[in-house]
Amino acid sequence: MAKKTMTIHLKIWRQAGPDASGRLVDYTVEANPHMSFLEMLDVLNEDLIKKGEEPVEFDYDCREGICGSCGVVVDGIAHGPQHRTAVCQLHMRHYRDGDTIVVEPWRAEAFPVIRDLVVDRGAFDRIISAGGYVSVNTGSAQDANNLPVPKPNADQAFDYAACIGCGACVAACPNASASLFTAAKIAHLALLPQGSPERQLRVERMVSQMQVEGFGDCSNHAECEAVCPKGISISAIARMRREYVKACLAGG
């Protein structure tokens, strides 16, 4: 009978801590083709634990492509070769028995490695804190239909709001720029009436925070759009730039 599992050779980035130097370590694992990429890593970790070795640290939560926790660079592509999915939604059936896969963490100065494949994405939180919100007064709840939103705007805002903040855009960008993440939030809120009052401050603050965190500048490679699990378009970045110019002109 044909073999039900597949032998996968892995080269995984192992790094003991933020200041330790890391290296690729070779492993071999027997995986079931129906497993997700992360389940395959689980199998590896069980083997490692049984052998008394340190398991490979990697981030995840929902494992259904909606939380944005997971993310590793698989054979040079953030979230792996399958478009519009997070790595938790990549399945081993896309690989062949005997394949070798290189697994690395997101690499950017703004995303320091904590351990193995886990990086600190706190920089994204600070960009959001800088302006990626709308201020709402507390008190009695507003009527839901108080603020009409034209359907095309609502649809487009929703496309941008789909960002799960995984950081693949930064990881894939040749410049390690956070432009797509930042722009998705700015574009999403700029399209809605709730976002309008603070739009000027928002774009100025979020853009400057992006720089404070040490992300690179955008060179319009559009690699971010290709790896985004939600397929967010770089038109968000164009919109961020228009918002920025408007804010500068209005700022006097």
Partner 1 sequence: MNTTKRQSFIKSPVGKKILTGITGLGLVIFVIEHMSGNLILMLEGSDAYNAYAHFLEGLGPILYLLELGLLAFFVFHIVLGINIWLGKRRARTHRYVKYRSAGKPSMQSPSSRSMIITGGILLVFLVIHLVSFKFGPGGPLHADPAYVTTVKGEVMRDLSKLVLEKFHHPAYAFGYPIVMLLLGVHLRHGIWSAFQSLGATNPRLTPGLYALGGLLALLIALGFLVLPLWIYFGGAA
The footprint of ligand HEM (CB under 6 A) covers: 219-220
Binding-residue pattern over the window 72 to 101 for ligand FES, x denoting contact by CB under 6 A: --------------x-x-------------
Provide the minimum distance between the beta carbon of 100 and partner 1 in the complex, in angstroms, as a whole number: 11
Of the candidates 118, 80, 101, 110, the one whose C-alpha atom is nearest the C-alpha of residue 24 is: 101
Decide if residue 216 touches ligand FES (CB under 6 A): no
Toward partner 1, which CB reaches closer, 38 or 234? 234
Provide the minimum distance between the beta carbon of 49 and ligand FES in the complex, in angstroms, as a whole number: 21
Toward ligand FES, which CB reaches closer, 87 or 190? 87
C-alpha 149/C-alpha 155 separation (Å) is: 10
- Residue 60 binding: pick among ligand FES, partner 1, ligand HEM, none (C-beta 5-8 Å cut-off by kind): ligand FES
Provide the minimum distance between the beta carbon of 65 and ligand FES in the complex, in angstroms, as a whole number: 5
Q: Is 155 exposed, middle or buried (0-12, 13-18, 19+ CB in 10 A)?
A: exposed
Provide the minimum distance between the beta carbon of 237 and ligand HEM in the complex, in angstroms, as a whole number: 12
Toward ligand HEM, which CB reaches closer, 129 or 220? 220
Decide if residue 117 touches ligand FES (CB under 6 A): no
Phi–psi pair at 39, nearest 5 degrees? -65, -35
Strands, sheet with 77-78, edge to edge from the N-terminal-most edge strand: 23-31, 6-14, 100-104, 73-74, 77-78
Provide the minimum distance between the beta carbon of 215 and ligand HEM in the complex, in angstroms, as a whole number: 14
Residue nearest to ligand HEM (CB): 219
Assign residue 65 a region: left if phi > 0, alpha if psi is -120 to 50, beta otherwise?
left
Phi–psi pair at 207, nearest 5 degrees? -65, -40
Radius of gyration, CA atoms only, the chain: 21
Whole-angstrom CA distances from 215 to 1, 36, 56, 206, 227 are: 52, 31, 27, 12, 18
State the residues that interact with ligand FES by CB under 6 A: 60-63, 65-70, 86, 88
